[in-house]
């Protein structure tokens, strides 16, 4: 870790090196083969993800925004006055802004994001919109242990805000472990406001991850392009295809890149043989039931308070407090 206060008072705790090479080699050596989804988000990947969020088929962002717009006052009332708000992976901050506009005299806002550029941009914008709010940005991988900046203004309680259903990209046991760390981070009296994608007709989910314009395909295949550019791999992008398939047993959508031919891929001194039709799992995204997710959070030390949802119950914004 590399702890430095930079421009805009940003606390830089970003990992010194990301082990893209080691994780790629380890993942391709597994059976079935796998690549970690955290490497999707280079500059092009982040732009493509932004476009995914605006696709007609990708209901997730639109539905969560609709829930926030409709219920932000009730959310702010539940969270209470003078809170410390910790935003995890809040990106450009569209959703956080809706929430902050309703919060009563928030003491401090701590956005935590892996992308320093994104964090600097959104912090500058938020300082214009909320000139009296203390904003303490932290550039960090929130999957790692987190150190919060000091001094912070005194607050009534800490509340973690984790939108976007990113928790769906965790295996259930890992999700529980992660939420347990969040419960420790916000401490006694703390809270968690979290956006979670809910179970629905598999056709709706598969359409969201196999969009007609091919943006999700470009996002998925960009992982191979990134391996070519950064690791010297030689994935022939003409011979790889995107496909997302819902697994009803696991309750998750799985994204694959599928080999279109018998082929060999070289990465530095390593080589991997693929047969036509062989798949590499690049991402999974769990969909939860309200009861199932509340049970998962309970295991992590959170007590269910309430859920705000859309009329079709496609998406839920859950509010939990740290169980005493
Ligand atoms: C970031 N995460 C919640 C997205 C999801 O829906 O799992 C990533 C994504 N992958 C394909 N489309 C969107």
84 Cβ closer than 6 Å to some ligand 1 atom: no
pLDDT band of 1, cuts 50, 70, 90: very low
Atom 2 in ligand 1: residue holding the nearest Cα? 166
Task: Say yes or no to pLDDT of 26 above 70.
Answer: yes
Calpha distance 134→35 (Å, rounded): 38
Determine the average pLDDT of the residues in 282-295.
Answer: 98
CA dihedral 113, 118, 124, 127 (to 10 degrees): -40
Residues 211, 212, 216, 220, CA torsion sign: positive
Q: What is the pTM of this model?
A: 0.94
Calpha distance 319→307 (Å, rounded): 6
Calpha distance 314→86 (Å, rounded): 25
137 vs 91 pLDDT, higher one? 137
If one residue of 242, 255, 283 were mutated to test the ligand 1 pocket, choosing by the most ligand atoms within 8 A of its CB, it would be: 283
pLDDT band of 9, cuts 50, 70, 90: confident
- Strands 252-259, 279-286: pairing kind: antiparallel
Task: Say yes or no to pLDDT of 287 above 80.
Answer: yes
113 Cβ closer than 6 Å to some ligand 1 atom: no
pLDDT tens-digit profile of 39-58? 999 989 999 999 999 999 99
Instruction: For residue 322, report the distance from its CA to the centre of ligand 1, in Å.
Output: 27
Contact of 282 with 259, CB cutoff 8 Å = no
Give residue 143's pLDDT: 84
Bridge partner list, 259: 240
Give residue 14's pLDDT: 64
122 Cβ closer than 6 Å to some ligand 1 atom: no
Residues 323, 321, 174, 299, CA torsion sign: positive
Atom 1 in ligand 1: residue holding the nearest Cα? 166
Q: Please report which helix (H) or strand (E) contains residue 133, including its range.
A: none
């Amino acid at each position: 870790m590399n702890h430095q206060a930079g421009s805009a008072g940003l606390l830089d705790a970003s990992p010194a090196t990301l082990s893209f090479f080691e994780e790629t080699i380890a993942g391709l050596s597994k059976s079935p083969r796998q690549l970690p989804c955290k490497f999707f988000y280079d500059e092009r990947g982040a732009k493509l993800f932004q476009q995914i969020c605006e696709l007609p088929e990708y209901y997730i962002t639109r539905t969560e925004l609709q829930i926030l717009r409709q219920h932000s006052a009730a959310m702010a009332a539940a969270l209470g006055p003078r809170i410390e708000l910790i935003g995890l992976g809040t990106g450009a901050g569209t959703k956080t802004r809706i929430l902050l506009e309703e919060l009563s005299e928030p003491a401090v806002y701590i956005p935590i994001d892996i992308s320093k550029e994104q964090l600097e941009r959104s912090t500058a914008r938020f300082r214009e919109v909320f000139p009296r709010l203390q904003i303490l940005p932290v550039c960090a991988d929130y999957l790692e242990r987190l150190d919060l900046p000091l001094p912070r203004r005194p607050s009534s309680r800490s509340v973690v805000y984790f939108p976007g259903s990113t928790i769906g990209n965790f295996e259930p046991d890992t999700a529980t472990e992660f939420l347990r760390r969040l419960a420790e981070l916000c401490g006694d009296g703390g809270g968690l406001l979290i956006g979670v994608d809910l179970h629905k007709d598999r056709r709706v989910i598969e359409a969201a991850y196999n969009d007609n314009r091919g943006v999700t395909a470009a996002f998925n295949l960009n992982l191979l392009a990134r391996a070519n550019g950064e690791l010297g791999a030689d994935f022939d992008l003409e011979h790889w295809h995107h496909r997302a398939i819902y697994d009803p047993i696991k309750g998750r959508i799985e994204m694959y890149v599928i080999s279109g031919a018998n082929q060999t891929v070289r990465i530095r001194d390593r080589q991997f043989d693929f047969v036509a039709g062989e798949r590499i799992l690049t991402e999974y995204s769990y969909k939860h039931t309200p009861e199932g997710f509340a049970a998962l959070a309970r295991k992590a030390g959170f007590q269910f308070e309430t859920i705000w949802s859309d009329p079709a119950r496609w998406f839920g914004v859950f509010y939990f407090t740290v169980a005493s």
